[in-house]
Amino acid sequence: MERDFLGFINDNHLFGPTDRVLLAVSGGLDSMVMTELVHRIGQPFAIAHVNFGLRGEESNADARFVQNKAEQYGVPFHLTQVDTKAVAEERGISIQMAARELRYAWFRQLLSENNYACVATAHHLNDVLETVLLNFTRGTGIAGLHGIAVNQNQVVRPLLFASRDQLVAYYEANKLTHREDSSNPEDKYARNRIRHHVVPVLTELNPALWQTFPRTVDRLRAAETLLRTELERSWQEISEPWGEQTLLRSDKLLSLSELPFRLSEWLKPFGFMVDQVEQMTNALTQSVGQQFLSPTHRIIHERNGLVLEPLRLAPDYEIRLTDWPSAAINVTGHFALAVQLIDKPDNIPTNPAVACLDADKLTFPITIRPWRQGDRFRPLGLNGHKLVSDLLNDLKLSRSERERTAVLLSGDSIAWVIGRRIDHRFRITPTTQRVCQLTLLNRL
């Protein structure tokens, strides 16, 4: 067993012979076998134990047992005690999830404070099979079907080469001792039900399960690697970054095979659900304007594709000026305006980012704010008034561009839809003496 153990560590580059490894030891059979194996190969190590406080005196006895073992091995011992139930209630999560989060957060702290190379847990092949079956019943991608990672974020699993029966055989041959969790025989948890009732049936159907299953897991991991490579390649092909936004071009999306699956994998990190992805796929062949929200992002169906952007609150600001400032007007997080009072220019700029207004027709206070539904102004060259919303629609602006549009008001009248169009009433005329030139420094 020691030879197989060391071979698995070396084959998977889990840690070097002089690295100090932190062992996560519960006191159960699996973790005691791992501790003995690490000791036998001469690896420098320390032991960490979490008392979750879930089984009263039994939990305290587990902690004392593990501490005594650390003293027998002559290695450093780390202990923490947490109120798992209270944390689970506070965070609104299951006790198992709270225990996992508390455990790994403490391990990360120990790694940082003590310069350990990694933390090793005692997961083995049976744990991998149970995890795969659990993930399968809950619905999962291909990553969920290869179970537990061998090496991930400084967490290593050096027993993943062995089945539970192999660990028991080693335990008995070396006359080791352990603490038995009284909840293990219970069927209260889904994992225990799979362990007690499903896995025995699978091993009966295939007596060579523990020889064939690792090969299946290896193939699934290889398939996932190929899949991730293809997903990254096609993402680069169909996406066009633009500031905080990313455009997923509809023409290129519709040319891809298995589009719902690709979209689901691409958008999973942004919090979008599978049913939303199905709606997005359907939206690509329908009229524009639909939007889809996740807790952190949104996707808008625009004319040229799906626009992905961080979820922001609607702009809410109002700047009131009683005089023209000497420096640029900064609307923090949105844009800035440079202000110049000049003589009437020979040529009026045609750039929509520059507005030349008759300074003597502007009255204070000058207000800068987001446009609102119902806002009206008189566009340059027109006799009648027009809704700002109609102007933005005529310009074929995307939803996010419309939302970021602001207006500059003279008193109660809109003088400029910033970056879009000035109001006819504030234009430069032959009688204009002074010009207020406003320049949008950051495009909306």
CATH of the domain at 242: 3.30.465
Contact between 16 and 45 under an 8 Å Cβ cutoff? The reply is no
Asked whether residue 370 is domain-assigned, the answer is: yes
Contact between 98 and 88 under an 8 Å Cβ cutoff? The reply is yes
In 3D space, the residue among 309, 279, 335, 332 whose CA is nearest the CA of residue 400 turns out to be 309
C-alpha–C-alpha distance, residues 153 and 105, integer Å: 12
In this structure, are 52 and 172 located in the same domain? yes
Q: Which domain holds residue 263?
A: 234-310
The one-letter amino acid at 133: L
C-alpha–C-alpha distance, residues 423 and 386, integer Å: 10
The predicted-structure confidence for 351-371, as pLDDT tens digits, reads as follows 889 999 999 999 999 999 999
In this structure, are 296 and 360 located in the same domain? no
In 3D space, the residue among 36, 195, 181 whose CA is nearest the CA of residue 125 turns out to be 195
Q: Does pLDDT of 444 surpass 60?
A: no
Asked whether residue 341 is domain-assigned, the answer is: yes
The one-letter amino acid at 280: M
Asked whether residue 159 is domain-assigned, the answer is: yes
The predicted-structure confidence for 30-82, as pLDDT tens digits, reads as follows 999 999 999 999 999 999 999 988 777 888 999 999 999 999 999 999 999 98
C-alpha–C-alpha distance, residues 365 and 342, integer Å: 20
* The last residue of a domain, from among 310, 336, 358: 310
In this structure, are 11 and 160 located in the same domain? yes
Which strands sit side by side in the sheet containing 245-249, from one edge to the other? 239-242, 245-249, 305-310, 297-302, 291-293
In this structure, are 306 and 350 located in the same domain? no
In this structure, are 304 and 349 located in the same domain? no
In this structure, are 354 and 406 located in the same domain? yes
Mean pLDDT of 211-223: 88
The predicted-structure confidence for 169-189, as pLDDT tens digits, reads as follows 999 999 999 998 766 667 777
Contact between 270 and 296 under an 8 Å Cβ cutoff? The reply is yes
CA 299 to centroid of chain Cα atoms: 16
Asked whether residue 223 is domain-assigned, the answer is: no
Hey, which residues does 60 pair with through a beta bridge?
none
In this structure, are 327 and 298 located in the same domain? no
Asked whether residue 97 is domain-assigned, the answer is: yes
In this structure, are 305 and 324 located in the same domain? no
Quickly tell me which residue has 């996560």 as its tokens: 24
In the chain, the N- to C-terminal Cα span, in Å, equals 65
C-alpha–C-alpha distance, residues 260 and 256, integer Å: 10
More confident residue, 291 or 24: 24
pLDDT recorded at residue 137 = 83
Contact between 118 and 12 under an 8 Å Cβ cutoff? The reply is no
Asked whether residue 244 is domain-assigned, the answer is: yes
pLDDT category of residue 330 using cuts at 50, 70 and 90: confident
What DSSP line would sit under 21-38, residue for residue? EEEE--SSHHHHHHHHHH
pLDDT recorded at residue 443 = 58
Mean pLDDT of 191-215: 89
More confident residue, 347 or 435: 435
C-alpha–C-alpha distance, residues 27 and 55, integer Å: 14
* 283 token code pair: 């939206």
The one-letter amino acid at 349: P
pLDDT recorded at residue 313 = 58
pLDDT category of residue 314 using cuts at 50, 70 and 90: low
In this structure, are 289 and 329 located in the same domain? no
Asked whether residue 218 is domain-assigned, the answer is: no
In this structure, are 181 and 260 located in the same domain? no
pLDDT recorded at residue 182 = 67
SS (H, E, C) 365-432: CEEEEECCCCCEECECCCCCCEEHHHHHHHCCCCHHHHHCCEEEEECCEEEEECCCEEEHHHCCCCCC
* The last residue of a domain, from among 205, 220, 252: 205
In this structure, are 355 and 289 located in the same domain? no
C-alpha–C-alpha distance, residues 129 and 122, integer Å: 14
In this structure, are 399 and 431 located in the same domain? yes
Asked whether residue 286 is domain-assigned, the answer is: yes
Phi, psi (rounded to 5 degrees) for 173: -65, -30
Most confident of 266-275, 285-294, 303-312, 411-420: 411-420
CATH of the domain at 184: 3.40.50.620
* The last residue of a domain, from among 293, 310, 327: 310
User: Total structural domains in the chain?
Assistant: 3
CATH of the domain at 339: 3.50.40.10
The predicted-structure confidence for 278-313, as pLDDT tens digits, reads as follows 999 999 988 888 889 888 888 989 888 999 988 765
